[in-house]
Amino acid sequence: MKKIIVLLIIAFTLNTNAQEKINWLSFEKAIEINKKNPKPFLIDIYTDWCGWCKKMDKETYTNPIIAKYVNENYHAVKLNGEGKDPITYKDYTFKFNQQGNTKYHELSAALQNGKLSYPTTIILNKEEQLLDRIPGYLTAKKMEMVLAFFIKKDRKEKKWGDFAKNFKNTIQE
């Protein structure tokens, strides 16, 4: 009997650990993959010191529904807003910059239109054009709605308010 209980606990633990996780990519890798497999981009701009970023990692991005939806429909990019490594994109090299106490990566600042806020979720279409920037913490329920909105073919005709009012979440919080 004890062996069966131990085996059940091990099986449950392995099954729990086998939950789908988001396949995070570097910005450069996502751009490279997009050439062969075009999809929109979900870019999570974070910093190491940001509490809300950590909360979003722990509660939003670990949700199995979010992870599955992101992996199926987006190229997911983690971008440190204060990252030190240069990133070359469209013949320009974005670098780390510091002005007084303000530290930032130029690509992060460019994507956020100079308004450094963490976390910020950036959505690009498969042509790598900016669709939206969403500053602040997003619950899994809100993230599900955001992700679904930007995949919809009729998004250009539909307003966010109308979409949100009629959206049926699969995540229950």
Q: Minimal CA–CA distance to 84: which of 73, 99, 76, 95?
A: 95
Per-residue pLDDT in tens (0 to 9) along the chain, 173 residues: 555 443 344 444 444 444 689 999 999 999 999 999 999 999 999 999 999 999 999 999 999 999 999 999 999 999 999 999 999 999 999 999 999 999 999 999 999 999 999 999 999 999 999 999 999 999 999 999 999 999 876 566 778 888 888 888 888 76
Q: pTM for this structure?
A: 0.85
CA distances from 167 to 41, 52, 68, 109, 142 (A): 21, 25, 18, 32, 10
Q: Check residue 90 and give its pLDDT.
A: 93
Q: Check residue 159 and give its pLDDT.
A: 82
CB contact at 8 A, 106 and 92 = no
Domain ranges of the chain: 19-166
Q: Check residue 11 and give its pLDDT.
A: 44
Q: Selecting from 3.40.50.12140, 3.20.20.105, 3.40.30.10, 3.40.50.170, what CATH number does the domain 19-166 have?
A: 3.40.30.10
Which tokens go with 66?
Answer: 């979010």
Which tokens go with 82?
Answer: 């204060």
Which tokens go with 86?
Answer: 């240069």
3-state secondary structure the chain: CHHHHHHHHHHHHHHHHCCCCCCEECHHHHHHHHHHCCCCEEEEEECCCCHHHHHHHHHHCCCHHHHHHHHHHCEEEEEECCCCCCEEECCEEECEEEECCEEEEHHHHHHCCCCCCCCEEEEECCCCCEEEEEECCCCHHHHHHHHHHHHCCCCCCCCHHHHHHHCCCCCCC
